[in-house]
Amino acid sequence: QQQVKQSPQSLIVQKGGISIINCAYENTAFDYFPWYQQFPGKGPALLIAIRPDVSEKKEGRFTISFNKSAKQFSLHIMDSQPGDSATYFCAAKSRSNDYKLSFGAGTTVTVRA
């Protein structure tokens, strides 16, 4: 049973456009919500992360929006570039679960030039 549900499975966006990926969770004990970027044949790399006491966090072209009451969070990639083409995973973890990461299913983003 996947604790973090992620959508869409894939998306295609034009260069300069906005990519939006959504995630939802049920476990209210989650206290840390990272997003990872993975290129083919490579391990995931941390992109940006947020804690539930913050509603938004921005780092460069990447923004996380967090809605605690709805138990949802999303990643926005502004001004998408071809180099952003990768698979993105949302995740969540809690101190009470030994900080094990629960991953979403992943979203493959393709940025067309």
Partner 1 sequence: GAVVSQHPSRVICKSGTSVKIECRSLDFQATTMFWYRQFPKQSLMLMATSNEGSKATYEQGVEKDKFLINHASLTLSTLTVTSAHPEDSSFYICSANQGGTEAFFGQGTRLTVV
Least gap, CB of 15 to partner 1 (angstroms): 24
Q: Give the residue, chosen from 44, 66, 77, 86, that forms a contact with partner 1 under the rule CB under 8 A.
A: 44
Neighbouring C-beta atoms of residue 43, cutoff 10 Å: 7
Number of residues that bind partner 1 (CB under 8 A): 24
3-state SS assignment for residue 60: coil
Amino acid at the residue 63: T
100 binds partner 1 (CB under 8 A): yes
In angstroms, what CA-CA distances link 110 with 11, 26, 60, 99? 6, 29, 19, 31
As a residue count, the chain comes to 113
Least gap, CB of 28 to partner 1 (angstroms): 17
Least gap, CB of 6 to partner 1 (angstroms): 8
Could you tell me which stretch among 14-22, 41-49, 57-65, 73-81 binds partner 1 (CB under 8 A)?
A: 41-49
